[in-house]
Amino acid sequence: MIIKRLVVGSLSANCYIVGSETAGEGLVIDPGGNAGDIFQAISDSGLDIKIIVLTHGHSDHIAALYDIQDRTGAEVAIHTADAQFLRGRGSFSMMFGISYKTPATPDRLLNEGDIIDVGGLNFSVLHTPGHTPGSICLLTDNKVFTGDTLFYRGIGTTLMPGSSRRQLIDSIHTRLMVLPDDTAVYPGHGRETTIGAERRNNPFLI
């Protein structure tokens, strides 16, 4: 499996390009800025991008979505409860001081338990509300992409409208902390970690 991480945008979000070398197909998770760099990394990977999956609808994770969708022709998927963040293709939005072109209405609305199948890889959608109502984590083998739900020694902020700290903590405990200790965590900001390391050391969870 190819996993390429790029740090993008003024809020240093992690954009991931993930795929299967053998099938030559992949997906992009959270194209949050620097569209040119993301497109270059896609070209270097040789992957045909089939779908762009958004862990949630905040601008620091979607600011390059319009361009990446345009250049790859990939489908766009977001959880039903965050779909309101995507509207009016080509109009401009502003959030967190980031101005960006908004993409089309999503091609695919995700819900708990959905499976995204790309190049023979299966990604399960875990609905983990709290940071936003429609935040998701994507689980494949022993790897989980956690967006702004779980970070290295941290958790997503719940200071925004629509956020709920109680819900976020509950999501982490019931959906993520039930995974095996050696599950690799690929967060929406900052460095990689594991479920076991966060179970033992994350000050928000102990």
Helices (H), the chain: 35-45, 59-62, 65-72, 165-171, 195-201
30 vs 52: CA distance, rounded Å = 7
By CB under 5 A, what part of segment 86-145 binds Zn ion? none
The type of residue at 132 is: T
Instruction: Give whichever of 59 and 183 is closer to Zn ion, judged by the CB atom.
Output: 59
Structure tokens at 165: 């700290």
Nearest distance from residue 195's CB to Zn ion, in Å?
20
Among 30, 67, 82, 148, binds Zn ion (CB under 5 A): 148
Nearest distance from residue 192's CB to Zn ion, in Å?
16
Residue with tokens 């976020």: 168
Q: Any contact of residue 79 with Zn ion (CB under 5 A)?
A: no
Instruction: Give whichever of 50 and 193 is closer to Zn ion, judged by the CB atom.
Output: 193
Instruction: Give whichever of 55 and 119 is closer to Zn ion, judged by the CB atom.
Output: 55
The type of residue at 29 is: I
Nearest distance from residue 140's CB to Zn ion, in Å?
21
Return the range that interacts with Zn ion (CB under 5 A); candidates 53-61, 67-75, 83-91, 166-174: 53-61
What residues pair up with 181 in beta bridges, in sequence order? Answer: none
Return the range that interacts with Zn ion (CB under 5 A); candidates 100-108, 114-122, 147-155, 177-185: 147-155
Return the range that interacts with Zn ion (CB under 5 A); candidates 37-45, 60-68, 72-80, 164-172: 60-68
69 vs 81: CA distance, rounded Å = 21
Rg of the chain in Å (alpha carbons): 16
Q: Any contact of residue 58 with Zn ion (CB under 5 A)?
A: yes
Return the residue nearest Zn ion (CB atom).
58
Using CB under 5 A as the binding criterion, the count of chain residues that bind Zn ion stands at 4
* CA angle at 41 for the pair 101 and 26, rounded to the nearest 5°: 85
Alpha-carbon distances of 98 from 7, 63, 102, 145, rounded to whole Å: 16, 8, 12, 23
Among 30, 60, 82, 198, binds Zn ion (CB under 5 A): 60
Residues that bind Zn ion (CB under 5 A): 58, 60, 148, 188
